[in-house]
Amino acid sequence: MVVHIEGMDKIYGRGDSKVSALKKINLDIYQGEIMAIMGPSGSGKSTLMNIIGFLDRPTFGIYEFDGRRVDKLNDNKLAELRNRHIGFVFQNFNLLPRLSALANVELPMIYAGVSARKRLRVAKELLEVVGLKERLKHKPNELSGGQKQRVAIARALVNHPSILLADEPTGNLDSKSGAEIINLFDTLNSIGVTVVLVTHDREVAMKTDRIIYLRDGKIVSDTKIRNLPENYPGYALKTNETAGMRIEGL
């Protein structure tokens, strides 16, 4: 179990303007899963994703990550966890516009204190994995939407995250490149990457193992689409030395 959430509330504001974004959430996410979080806008999908990804803290309740309580950690510790264990993919890509694809992918490694030489090697390898071998020096505005999202995925994978969190990753893409991105997530999942997708798209959600449906801050359904095999290979990413080894067989 990567994520264990129990009785979690998220409340914004105080007094009269108090808004409960999440109410009594219980959720376990397993190693090697690929799951979708669905629900109408304002149902708390993004809030839940932000908390899972350590961008935000729960107001009440328990959050255990890799068996460790993390709901009360300070900003520095959360930044460290984001850096080491979380890969984010956003709807609007969120690449730094002045940096090349390569430099964008290197970014998380800078904050992890990885040496320049290793950063370059890993970034090159991962861009190759996502199919952008020929676009290393291109700036984001010289790339198509699908290519930008591939750069973002490469960046998310760079520190061997425990979970890949994707918030509407196909929202800004045409259906063809959207499908390609989903296939990429699928491929990554097949080699053991745990993926959580926030999506509106039923078709996208149906490709995952499990769908969580949120309404008004509550989980109203938790459905398994595919059965996880017993003793799922689990492929602990962090046990592998380099990204290069990990992606063999892609």
Partner 1 sequence: MLLKRMKRQGCGLKVFEIFRIALRGLLTNKLRSLLTMLGVIIGVGSVITLVSIGEGVRASVSEQIQGLGSNIILVTPGKGTVGINSSSMGGALSRLTYDDALAVERKAGTVSSVAPVIESSATVEYREDRKFTLITGTTESYNVVRNAPVAAGGFITRGDIRSMRAVAVVGDTVRKNLFPGANPLGKTIKINNKNYKVIGVMERKGPTLTIDNDDRVFIPITVAEQIFDTKQVNMMFVRSINPESVSDAVSDTKRIISGRHGKRDFTVSEQEDILDTFQGIMGTLTGMLGGIAGVSLVVGGIGIMNIMLVTVTERTREIGIRKAVGAKRREILAQFLLESVFISALGGIIGIGAGFAGARALVNIIPKLPTVVSPWSVVVAFLFALLVGLFFGIYPARKAAGLNPIEALRYE
Answer for which of 26, 111, 183, 250 binds partner 1 (CB under 8 A) is 111
For residue 240 the two structure tokens come to: 């592998």
- In 3D space, the residue among 26, 31, 61 whose CA is nearest the CA of residue 219 turns out to be 26
77 or 224: CB nearest partner 1: 77
Buried b (16+ CB within 10 A) or exposed e, 161-183: bbbbbbbbbbbbbeeebbbbbbe
Q: Is 141 in the site for partner 1 (CB under 8 A)?
A: no
C-alpha to C-alpha distance for 222 and 90, rounded to whole angstroms: 23
Helices and strands of the chain, counted as H and E runs: 8, 10
72 touches partner 1 by CB under 8 A = no
Q: In angstroms, what is the minimal distance from the CB of 205 to partner 1?
A: 23
The reply to whether 236 sits near partner 1 by the rule CB under 8 A is no
What CA–CA distance (Å, rounded) separates 58 from 44? Answer: 12
Q: Pick between residue 194 and residue 205 the one whose CB is nearest to partner 1.
A: 194
Residue from the set 84, 121, 200, 218 that interacts with partner 1 by CB under 8 A:
84
Cβ distance to partner 1 smaller for residue 82 or 124: 82
| CA separation for the pair 111, 159 (Å, rounded) | 10
Q: Contacting partner 1 (CB under 8 A), which of 11, 62, 73, 79?
A: 79
Binding site for partner 1 (CB under 8 A): 50, 53, 55-56, 75-76, 79-80, 82-84, 88, 90, 94-96, 98, 107-108, 110-115, 155, 159
